[in-house]
Structure formats: C-alpha cells, structure tokens
C-alpha cells in the first residue's frame, strides 16, 4: 500500500511540475538549484548578447528607521571591490575587458520589494559574466574608503529628488498612508541614515538577505538552457543556503488599514502650479490577486483620452492632468489619483473629481468597447515589451519579487478575463466610501491668493 501511495505521489508531483513548465513560454526555463537559488533562462538568439541579472528579496519593505535607504546604498556597493576584484581600478578594468558599460547609477535598481543587478555582454563571454556577478553578489568587501565616497553619492540622488516640489507632496502623502511603517515604502531613505552608514551595516544586510534561497538568477539572450544550467551549477552551486527563510525570520510587519480620511497641505516655494494627490490602500498579491488585474484594467480605462474622466476634467479645461494608478505589490498596493488642477478653477475641478469617484462603481461609467480596448491595449503593450530580452528581464524579476513568475506568465490571460463586475467589486472593496489620504501642493503665494488653509476647502 505504501508503495502504491508513493507511486501516486510521484505521479502527482511529476504532473504538477509538468503543468508548471507548460505555463511558461516555450523559450523559458525555470528551476531551483539545491541551494535554493532560482534560475530563469530566456533563450533569444536574435542578437549575440546575453543579460545576466540577479534579484534579491530586499528593498524598502525590509527596512526600519535605522536602515532606511541602505538597501539602495548596498546596491551601489555591489559594483565595487570584492574578494576577486579587490579595488575599484581593477573593477573598472575588468568591466572594460568584458565589454560591460555601467549606466549613470550603475546597473541596478532598488524598489519597495526588490533589489536587482544586471550586466549585458557578448554571449561568447557568458561564463566570464557569470563569474563576475558571482564575485559581486557573494564576496563584497565594503571597503571603508569606498563607503566614504559612495554615501554622499547616494545622498546626492536623494537631494536631486527633493529639488522637485512634487517630492514633498509625495513624502507627506506617504507618511499618512503608511503611518509608523512609512520606511517600508520609502526606498530613497533618510539622509542621516545614508550618510552615517558603515561597512558593518552593509554586512548586516548581506547576512540577512543576500542568500541563494532569497534570490533569482535570470539570464536572457543568445544562450542554450542546458549550457547555462551547467555553468550556473558549477559557479553558484557551492553558494551555501542560509538555512532559513529571511522573510520568515524577519517578518514584514503588516500595514495598518486606514480608519479615517487624512488630509493635508504641502507648501513649497518652488511649486508653480497646484497638485493634488489622493490615495487608498489597494489589493496585494498575497490576499487578493484577482483584484490586481481589475485594478490595472480600470486604471487604463481612466487614462484613455476617450474616457469620461479625461474628457470632463482635462478636455474641459478643469485640469491640466489627471491620472489614476495602481502599483502591484506583495504588501498592500497603493491606489493613487494625481491631479494638476487649473489654478483658477481648483474647487470646480475637485468637485468634478469627487463626482467621478462616486460614479466609478456604476454599471454605465464605461462602455463595453472601452473595457475590451483597455484589455487589448494592455496585452499588446506587454507583448511589445517582451521584444527586447535585455530590458524585459527587469520586468520579469520585478514580478518574481512582488507576485511570482507564474503571475507574470499568465498575466495577459488573466487580464482578458476581467469583467465589468470584477472592476465594480474592486472599486467597492477598495475605493468607494473607503478612508483615503488626500493632500494639495501649493506655493505660499498661491495659498495666499486662494485663501486655502485646509484641504477640505477645495473639496466643498
């Protein structure tokens, strides 16, 4: 009897594995090494190039106030000295030998739920590229002299962002949206934390999150899957697993639901025109995957020039710009409504915005044609993005971090399934009558001219 059950279990396991592989595009291969490192290979022989990317479950969502901004600093330190390339000069020389060009901010990005690193080089140098990335991910030195140089560089990016008056609006908005967990949604960080960062803090981050079982190695380009897998196992196979799940060992705290409306005014002498930002806590990929597709489709409908929303706000002259967006996240995706109202018609504009929000859950708010157009255009956009594997791979690792690879490979199919009722359910669950955060950006002169001292004045 035990033997029969074992055979059945084996067949079921084989069936699930086969099913998972069938969900992947024909030129994809996805597996997990014995040490937990996930390996994704995308074969594309259109040009003799290969992009190698490593993504890690790290970013703002892992940071408290003592570490806020240090995932971003760590990203910068990735492309510095390591055990095998012990100086910045040697590092730059090796880049030149491999024909790798780093971008203005190196080849990495830091978001709320992912940090990724990537290089593109001639596919004949695949093994060299794999070894180059292996040294960087596993053996960083965090030299004090390099830290001293890089801390102000990262902080300089922060300061450039601050020069945009809209930055203050978004910062004030996020503080109210996320409360005492705002650092978990603030990838740019805190000035003092960045400037005072030490090699010891970098090693703490490494010891928590930089493990094979918390990472994915994605390789896209002119390669053969079997060759890649052989090389990856030889180079990365002895990278030891942490023996624990970092996200379980250091759990991500849950964001507290909004319990009441919160409004504010942000003043900036650099603000030339008023800007309004409103938002709600939206669905996430752990608890309400279906609503994430509806959110994307509805946001796209609202962005089209043919929508009532655009016609009655922008085309009418009430606003210069209106945009509704939803960011897919594993931990509460924000829904944001951004408005640049006509300065002479602010109250009239915001009254019209409220009128539209109250209609978003009505059956006749958009047409069947608009619904189908939105789904088709989103699908076309996704297909178009997949034309360039060197940039497409970044999108894939984003979804790996904030949802799953399966979520992304079935994304277009699930978009096409979205119905009018799905959108209505999404709006009712997350927007209609739900607590929101709302603020307006004004210059002191514009505030004096309009007499606006409370956000609610522009909503009356």
**Is pLDDT above 60 for 1?**
no
Neighbour-count burial of 363, counting CB atoms closer than 10 A to its CB (0-12 exposed, 13-18 middle, 19+ buried): exposed
| 4 confidence band (pLDDT: 50, 70, 90) | very low
106 and 234 fall within a common domain: yes
**Is pLDDT above 70 for 214?**
yes
* Arithmetic mean of pLDDT over the chain: 92
Which residues are bridge partners to 40 per DSSP?
A: 30, 218
**Is pLDDT above 80 for 144?**
yes
372 and 326 fall within a common domain: yes
Which residue is it, tokens 């780093």? Answer: 102
422 and 365 fall within a common domain: yes
**Is pLDDT above 70 for 184?**
yes
Summarised one tens digit per residue, pLDDT across range 112-128 is 999 999 999 999 999 99
348 and 449 fall within a common domain: yes
| 136 confidence band (pLDDT: 50, 70, 90) | very high
**Is pLDDT above 60 for 13?**
no
Q: Look up the CATH number of the domain holding residue 223.
A: 3.30.830.10
| Count of C-beta atoms within a 10 Å radius of residue 46 | 10
Model pLDDT, residue 106: 61
Q: Is position 1 within any domain? A: no
| CA nearest neighbour of 326 among 349, 303, 350, 307 | 303
Summarised one tens digit per residue, pLDDT across range 359-412 is 999 999 999 999 999 999 999 988 888 877 878 899 999 999 999 999 999 999
187 and 306 fall within a common domain: no
Summarised one tens digit per residue, pLDDT across range 246-271 is 999 999 999 999 999 999 999 999 89
The last residue of a domain, from among 249, 283, 315: 249
CA–CA dist 231, 229 (Å, integer): 6
206 and 280 fall within a common domain: no
Q: Is position 18 within any domain? A: no
309 and 234 fall within a common domain: no
Q: Which domain holds residue 396?
A: 262-459
Q: Is position 235 within any domain? A: yes
More confident residue, 89 or 262: 262
The last residue of a domain, from among 193, 218, 249: 249
Q: Is position 2 within any domain? A: no
Model pLDDT, residue 103: 64
Length of the chain: 460
Q: Is position 438 within any domain? A: yes
| 16 confidence band (pLDDT: 50, 70, 90) | very low
155 and 64 fall within a common domain: yes
Summarised one tens digit per residue, pLDDT across range 443-455 is 999 999 889 999 9
CA–CA dist 187, 63 (Å, integer): 9
Number of structural domains, the chain?
A: 2
Tell how many helices (H) and how many strands (E) occur in the chain: 19, 11
Please compute, for residue 340, the number of CA atoms within 13 A of its CA located in the half-sphere on the CB side: 9
CA–CA dist 40, 244 (Å, integer): 22
CA–CA dist 286, 278 (Å, integer): 24
269 and 245 fall within a common domain: no
CA–CA dist 88, 83 (Å, integer): 12
276 and 209 fall within a common domain: no
For 364, the token pair is: 């006749």
Q: Is position 192 within any domain? A: yes
Model pLDDT, residue 165: 86
Strand pairing report for 334-341 and 319-326:
antiparallel
Sign of the four-CA dihedral 63, 67, 73, 77: negative
437 and 405 fall within a common domain: yes
| CA nearest neighbour of 188 among 318, 75, 340 | 75
Q: Is position 226 within any domain? A: yes
| 15 confidence band (pLDDT: 50, 70, 90) | very low
**Is pLDDT above 90 for 217?**
yes
208 and 154 fall within a common domain: yes
Phi, psi of 182 (to 5 degrees): -60, -30
CA–CA dist 355, 312 (Å, integer): 11
Q: Is position 205 within any domain? A: yes
CA–CA dist 441, 452 (Å, integer): 11
Q: Which residues contact 120 (CB under 8 A, 6 or more apart)?
A: 49, 50, 51, 52, 100, 221, 390
| CA nearest neighbour of 247 among 362, 113, 347 | 113
The last residue of a domain, from among 215, 249, 283: 249
């Amino acid at each position: 009897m035990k033997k029969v059950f074992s055979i059945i279990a084996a067949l079921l396991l084989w069936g699930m594995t086969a099913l998972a592989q069938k969900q992947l595009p024909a030129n994809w291969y996805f597996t997990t090494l014995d040490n937990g490192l996930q390996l994704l290979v995308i074969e594309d022989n259109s040009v003799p190039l290969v992009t190698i990317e490593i993504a890690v479950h790290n970013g703002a969502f892992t940071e408290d106030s003592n570490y806020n901004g240090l995932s971003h600093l760590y990203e910068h330190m990735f492309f510095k000295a390591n055990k095998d390339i012990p100086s910045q000069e040697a590092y730059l020389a090796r880049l030149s030998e491999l024909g790798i060009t780093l971008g203005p901010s190196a080849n990495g990005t830091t978001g709320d739920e992912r940090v990724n690193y990537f290089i593109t080089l001639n596919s004949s140098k695949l093994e060299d590229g794999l070894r180059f990335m292996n040294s960087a991910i596993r053996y960083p030195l965090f030299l004090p002299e390099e830290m001293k140089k890089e801390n102000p560089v990262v902080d300089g990016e922060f300061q450039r962002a601050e020069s945009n008056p809209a930055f203050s609006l978004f910062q004030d908005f996020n503080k109210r949206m996320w409360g005492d967990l705002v650092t978990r949604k603030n990838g740019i960080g805190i000035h003092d934390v960045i400037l005072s960062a030490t090699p010891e803090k970098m090693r703490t981050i490494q010891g928590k999150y930089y493990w094979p079982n918390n990472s994915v190695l994605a390789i896209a380009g002119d390669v053969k899957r079997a060759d890649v897998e052989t090389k990856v196992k030889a180079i990365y196979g002895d990278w030891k697993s942490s023996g624990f799940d970092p996200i379980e060992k250091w759990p991500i705290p849950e964001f507290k639901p909004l319990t009441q409306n919160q409004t504010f005014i942000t003043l900036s002498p650099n603000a030339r025109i008023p800007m309004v930002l409103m938002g709600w806590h939206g669905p996430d990929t752990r608890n309400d995957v279906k609503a994430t597709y509806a959110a994307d489709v509805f946001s796209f409908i609202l962005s089209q020039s043919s929508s009532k929303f655009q016609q009655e706000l922008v085309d009418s002259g009430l606003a210069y710009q209106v945009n509704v967006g939803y960011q897919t996240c594993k931990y509460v995706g924000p829904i944001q409504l951004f408005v640049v109202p006509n300065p002479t018609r602010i109250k009239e504009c915001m009254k019209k915005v409220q009128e539209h929000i109250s209609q978003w859950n009505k059956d006749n708010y958009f047409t069947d044609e608009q619904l189908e157009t939105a789904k088709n255009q989103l699908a076309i956009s996704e297909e178009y993005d997949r034309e360039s594997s060197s940039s497409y791979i970044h999108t894939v690792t984003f979804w790996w971090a904030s949802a799953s690879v399966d979520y992304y490979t079935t994304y277009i199919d699930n978009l096409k399934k979205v119905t009018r009722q799905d959108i209505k359910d999404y709006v009712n669950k997350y927007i209609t009558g739900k607590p929101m955060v709302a603020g307006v950006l004004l210059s002191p002169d514009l505030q004096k001219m309009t007499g606006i001292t409370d956000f609610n004045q522009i909503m009356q």
